[in-house]
Amino acid sequence: MADLPELNEWPEGIYQLETSDPVLGGPEGIDNLQAKQLASRTKFLKANVDALKSGSTPAGKANALTTARTIALTGDAAWSVSFSGAGNVTGTLTLANTGVSAGTYGKVTVNAKGLVTGGTSLAATDIPALDWSKITTGKPTTRAGYGITDAQPLDADLTALAGLAVNGLYVRTGAGAGAARSIAVGAGIGVANGDGVAGNPTLTNTGVVSATGTANQVIVSTTKGNVVFSLPQAIHSGATPAFGQMTLAADPTAALHVATKQYVDNLISGLDVKSSVLVATTANIALTGVQTVDGIAVTAGARVLVKNQTTTSQNGLYLCATGAWSRAADADTWNELISAFVFVEKGTQNADTGWVCTCDPGGTIGTTAVTVAQFAGAGTVTAGAGIKVVGNQVALTVSGIQAGTYPKVTVDQYGRVTAGAPLAAADIPNLDWSKITAGKPTTLSGYGIALPTQAQAESGTDNALPMTPQRVFQAIAKVIVQAKEGTFGWLKIATQSQVVAGTDDTAAVTSKKLRAGFVLYWSDTTAAGYIALPTWLGGYIVQTGLINVSAQDVITILPTAFPNTFMQVMVCNAYTAGSGAVGYLSASTRDKSSIVSRGSSEGLGARFIAIGK
């Protein structure tokens, strides 16, 4: 016995069984259609109710906060905004420094979240062993160029350098010519060791001679430095000026404008702001005794927002007690819950969040469901790709890479490292010969070995030359051919479509493909059954079963309905040897799943054979 399949959908209408419908069970049977449609409607309703209970479908909204709140995020990034609910608020999310200096590196170190925490230059050990084919330019044309000892030829530039008798920086002025130079400077610039003899040349700035100023002001000498300021100057971001009172000329019109008290008072009229609670629940709890809620130990007398009860009429504002909890005095009647807003002080998930009751007037406390939703609009943070938000903490999700140092990394569209691997030869660009500074062979045999020709590979007589995959394939193909009747060779396996077509004489048929499509069914209870042949044998179905003989029309249901065509039915009476009892019996097809028959002798048994596709 199996359960009916249930779909998460709303079928339009419920099928009405007709008197002409056959009795047919199974997942697609007509007798199970009504139950299947009602089960799908039930599953659809349950999914929508669960979405409302879990909060994935919003249940309502509120207008604004009485007191503006600051929402701050910490962790791998920092973000802070002040919101009252009057409008949307945006802020810049700044990633925390990982300790690496901005720059370009040949090799980087990342943490488990894919953030680069360090960088260095490539070392010789980071470069994999390279094939000779990687050296595409600059290959020497002499033995000396490969490190094979040759005499140093006479060079005109070296001769010119040897002829210099003056200290300084050497400059090549032409072929076989050179001169000594030193660094000269202009006004406002000083130089030490200009000729490089006593040490590296060092340049210093001697232009700005003095700078004075007062708080929030800078004065620079106009004789040197050429520093120009535009006025008026803005107050420095690090300054903390204090104002006794300010009078604003108008209500704010932009996101970062200062709001007047009058403007804020007008916005909060739609909320009933309650005193803040210590914590808010994250799951169903027992409303009795001191306990831990959202990671915080709650003691007697603390205010708690209960919002996740299985029995939703229990939701609301409560006072914790050593015994049974009681509703808070400012939220113990239904009217006090309508548009009630409360701010959560602590908690692993809910710290510094605002919540509002979305109840409608007319309910009864303790009986009517109490729904609570996080305050919609400004200050709500939704985690995007690669970000997770828990309460007021934002952090990067783990990118999937193990913390470590990698010469090669893969990054996503946000610049996070998601994978790292050692360098492969394919990662190294084609190099000039001059890039190879160590480990060069000193003999020609060190730079390569000759490969066999196709004829050598096919002959199979050479035992010294290495074989490439292509040469191995050519050697095998030379001696192994397609198997045929009387010919040894390789044999391919036929596809199911080739087996069905039955035209390919070069591919083998496996037992699985040979068996595919055969169905044999027999019921000892009903003494009925059928054989279904695969499509490559025509897809025929042969059925048999018992018939009740009657002088009136008798309808007999087949063991299975023919999916396409009911071709023929044959019937006959049973006969007992020596009895002499015979009769006649006729039958015809009624539909794809049944036959109709009539006979002369009700005492004689009968059987049918039906053929179709």
The structure tokens 């370009």 sit at: 104
pLDDT computed for residue 229 by the predictor: 44
Q: Which of 402, 423, 377, 441 is nearest to 135 (CA)?
A: 441
Based on its alpha-carbon atoms, the radius of gyration of the chain, rounded to whole angstroms, reads 45
Tokens linked to 8: 């998460």
The CATH code for residues 519-612 is 2.60.40.3940
What are the domain boundaries of the chain? Answer: 1-57, 59-96+108-114+256-438, 519-612
Q: From residue 594, how far is each of 560, 588, 590 by CA, in Å?
A: 9, 9, 6
Amino acid residing at 103 = G
pLDDT computed for residue 382 by the predictor: 62
H helix runs in 163-230, sequence order? none
Q: How many CB atoms lie within 10 A of CB 355?
A: 20
Dihedrals phi, psi of 391, to nearest 5 degrees: 65, -120
First to last CA, the chain: 28
pTM of the model: 0.27
pLDDT computed for residue 560 by the predictor: 93
Averages of pLDDT over runs of 10 residues in the chain (613 residues) are 78 80 73 81 85 72 72 82 79 84 87 86 83 83 69 66 73 80 78 78 68 47 47 55 66 68 58 90 96 96 96 96 96 92 93 91 94 66 67 70 87 84 85 82 61 82 80 76 75 81 80 77 92 86 90 90 93 82 85 90 85 94
Q: From residue 205, how far is each of 190, 219, 346, 372, 530 by CA, in Å?
A: 6, 19, 56, 66, 102
- Are the CB atoms for 53 and 255 separated by under 8 Å? no
Q: What does the angle CA 473 – CA 478 – CA 479 come to, to the nearest 5 degrees?
A: 110
Strands 279-280, 303-306: pairing kind: parallel
pLDDT computed for residue 270 by the predictor: 67
